[in-house]
Amino acid sequence: MTTQQTETAQLQVDDYIQAWHNRKIFHQGRVTDVVRSLELTRILDAETGVRKLLDPEALEIVRVAGPRA
């Protein structure tokens, strides 16, 4: 699967993303907030249900199709 990192400025609330580090997925979920001035993204983690603040300097953030209801 070919993925392309998504810039924080391109993300919007309700986008579904995956956050990767060293070719391993660390978090995935729906975007709840984007702080463009700080280039940070907050998601609701799909696995744990916990809100996570993601740093694009440490993680590769990729927009993907979300799970079907």
**Tens digit of pLDDT for each residue in 29-39?**
999 999 888 88
The whole-number pLDDT of residue 52 equals: 96
Does domain 8-62 fall under CATH 2.40.160? My reply is no
Task: Indicate the range of 7-11, 48-52, 53-57, 60-64 predicted with least confidence.
Answer: 7-11
Confidence of residue 20 (pLDDT cuts 50, 70, 90): very high
Average pLDDT rounded to a whole number, residues 52-62: 92
What's 4-64 look like in SS3? CCCCHHHCCCCCEEEEEECCEEEEEEEEEEEECCCCEEEEEECCCCCEEEECCCCCEEEEE
pTM: 0.82
Mean pLDDT of the chain: 88
